[in-house]
Homo-oligomer: A and B are copies of this chain.
Amino acid sequence: MRRPTLEAVATRAGVSKSTVSRVVNGEPTVASDIRDLVMRAVNELGYVPNPAARSLVTRRTDSIAVIVSDPPTGLVSDDPMFSTVVRAASREFEAAGKQVVLMLAGSDDARLRARQFVAARHVDAVMLVSMHGADPLPAALATTGVPLVSHGRPAFWEGAPWVDNDNVGGAAQAVRHLLERGRRRIATISGPLDMSAAQDRLSAYREVLSETGRRSIVAIGDFTRISGAEAMAQLLEDDPALDAVFAANDLMAIGAMRALRRAGRRVPDDVAVVGFDDIEAALYTDPPLTTVRSPMGEQAAASARLLLGLLRGEDAAPVILPTQLVIRESS
C-alpha cells in the first residue's frame, strides 16, 4: 500500500540504508556488485526517493520559482512574451535538473504569498520576469537571502543581477532607420513608464530626435495591442501630419496598424511603422512589420543560466544582449 522506503530497499538487497542512499545518489564509493544488487532491489520495488525527506535534511529543494508579474485583469492574456520566456527558462532549468514553480504576482495577495513561499525556502532560487518599477516584491525577496535574478533590468531597484537586451541601442536604430527613410514627423508609442524597457526605448527615441533637432510626439501604452490602437488614435489626433511611428513593442505596433487602417492611412505609404521585439506575429501583419529583434528566448535562457551559476556559487554581473533591426515592408 505505502510506497517503499530506503529501508525496504536495504532489507531487500541485504545491505544498509546508507549503502542504498549512496547508490541512489550516485556516489562512486560503492563496489559495483553491491551497486547492481541495490539497483535490482530498487527496480523490483519501484522505489522512488521521497523528496520531502531528502530536502528536509539537505536543505535543498532543487526547484526554482519563476515569478511573473501578472495583470489582475485577465485581458492581456495571449502575451507572446510569457510563452517564450517561460518556455525558454523552463527548458534551461529542467536541463539542469531543477523544477520550475510558476508564480503569478498579480495581486498584493499573490505577492504576499510569493514572499512567504520564498521565505519558507520552498525554492532554492528565484527568477523574476517583467517586474514593474513600483513593485515591492523584488526588494522583499532580496531580504530572504535567496539567490535572485531578473529577466529584464528592474526599474528603480539594483539588488540582483539581470539580463536585458539593448533597448537603448535597438530603439535608436529603429528611429534612425525612419529618419533615413526620409520620415520627418516621427511619433512613438511608449510602454508603461514603470518598466525599464519602456523607459530606455523612450529615452533613446527622444535622444535621437533631439540630436537631429526634431520634436518628440509621444503617447503612452501598456504593451498591449489595444493600448497601441488607442495610443495611435491619440497620436493622429495630436498630429494628423505624422508620417511615422515607432511602437515600443510589436503588440502595440499591431494595434497601431489597425488604428491607422481605420483612420484611412496606408502603411507604409502614409505612415511608416516600426515595432520592437520581432515576435512571430510581426511576420504575418499586412504589410509585414519592420521591427527590432530582441532575443527574448535567449534572454530568458541567459537569465536562467545566470541563476544556475549563482547557485553554484559563481558570481554574476548584468548582461546586455544585442538587438538587430529587421526591415520588412511597414517602413
Chain copies in complex: 2
Pick from B113, B116, B261: contact of A286, CB under 8 Å: B261
Closest residue of chain B to A118 (Cβ to Cβ) is B48
A116 CA to B281 CA, complexed, in Å: 37
Looking at A36-44, A85-93, A192-200, A237-245, the stretch in contact with chain B turns out to be A85-93
Residues of B within 8 Å of A101, CB to CB, are 63, 99-102
Mask: chain A, 105-135; 1 = CB below 8 Å from B; 0 = not: 0100010010011011110000000000000
A55 CA to B50 CA, complexed, in Å: 10
Mask: chain A, 264-290; 1 = CB below 8 Å from B; 0 = not: 000000000000000111011110000
A225 CA to B80 CA, complexed, in Å: 14
- The reply to whether B82 and A77 form a contact with Cβ atoms under 8 Å apart is no
Closest residue of chain B to A123 (Cβ to Cβ) is B99
- The reply to whether B84 and A78 form a contact with Cβ atoms under 8 Å apart is yes
Pick from B3, B77, B110, B254: contact of A94, CB under 8 Å: B110
Give 24 pairs: A residue, B residue, CB < 8 Å, sorted on A. Answer: A48-B119, A50-B121, A51-B122, A52-B52, A52-B56, A53-B56, A63-B101, A66-B102, A74-B297, A77-B87, A77-B280, A78-B80, A78-B81, A78-B83, A82-B83, A87-B104, A91-B106, A100-B101, A101-B101, A225-B280, A225-B283, A255-B284, A257-B284, A281-B281
User: 9 closest Cβ contacts across the A-B interface?
Assistant: A78-B80, A52-B56, A82-B83, A52-B55, A48-B120, A102-B102, A77-B84, A286-B286, A48-B119
